[in-house]
Amino acid sequence: MSRIKLDSKQLKQEIISFNQQLLESYKLLKRMPPVETGQTPFETIFQLDKVRLNYYQPEIVQPELPPIVICYALVNRPYMIDLTPERSMLQKLLQRGIGVYLIDWGYPDASDRFLDLDDYINHYLDQCIDAATRHAGQERINLMGICQGGTFSLCYTALHPQKIARLITLVTPVNFDTEDFTLSKLARHVDADLAVATYGNIPGTLLNETYNSLMPMRLGLQKNLDLPITLSDEASARAFLSMEKWIYDSPDQAGAAFSEFIKNFFQQNKLIKNTLKIGNQSVDLGHITQPLLNIYASHDHLVPPSSSKALKGMTSSQLYREKEIKTGHIGLFVSSRTGSQLIDSIANWLQSDLDNNA
């Protein structure tokens, strides 16, 4: 049996160096101001219960690029797309002259326990779409859904096709039964009814632990070991802390909607099987005829490309396009390397679509 040989002097020096770096990091954190996120100015143009629709006005409006409603997931907060001024997908859209309506689902409390998917999709999302359409002075509006919000957007467009002009889905799960969909495999073993009976609303902290468990070394041990480097200067520390703030700013999930989503999507895969009902309405992706851009991340550990790419051929869109971006689930929105590529894809697709329909 081979033995591990350690140099005691080198090991001692590495520990001393590590501790010194930690001390310097601590001093840096003490003198840093609190981290601010979601700093882009907006106007709340509509509110219903805890749900708000915020409008972000570009400095120079491009008439040929109509505004977009962005539907984020219920999990985590939508300021992921406006994390810091340096890493803001939202600001990049505004710089292109694209107005943005962003849905903020708020923080569900005990009074929201019985909100279901019908409430979220056919009531709240529908009211937000109507409000944005009125505000924009258009007959139909563009809709972009992110992650679970993309799944919601697909369902909404299939149920209300007359209200949507164009549809964009970002890192959106469609087929919940692909071989490499690790989160879905875990969700199949969840007793959703028991969880709701136990907790009422599902705690956001519990869901965070689940997501972190998908990559325990990278999101746990490695992240902590890298702290002295991550917190070595104010810029990198600010980027790290803003991300940590977003990760752990996790709203609880309305019990009924959580249970319904787990059972109908993760466990029974009804969307792809064309057996899904929202309320008493059947969701048929074939009712989607709008131009559709489906963007996915090649290294996505939460929603694998195989799940997103399953959308191809499921709709009746004659202008369906896919775009792969070489990054991860979160990197798609905050990476400086891929951020411009994402915005270029969205803006160019909107423009070419208008040209094709001219």
| Residues with catalytic roles | 147
Sequence-separated (6 or more) residues with CB below 8 Å from residue 216: none
d(CA 43, CA 346): 23
Tokens, residue 57? 């006005």
Q: Which amino acid is at 78?
A: P
Q: At what angle do helices 234-247 and 8-31 cross, to 10 degrees?
A: 80
| Integer Cα distance of 67 and 53 in angstroms | 13
The CA distance from 54 to 227, in Å, is: 35
241-249 long-range Cβ contacts below 8 angstroms, 24+ apart:
241/32, 241/35, 242/35, 242/37, 242/83, 242/84, 242/87, 243/83, 243/330, 243/334, 245/35, 245/37, 246/37, 246/76, 246/77, 246/79, 246/80, 246/83, 247/76, 247/208, 248/205, 248/208, 249/76, 249/77
Q: Which of 34, 70, 33, 77 has its CA nearest to residue 55? A: 70
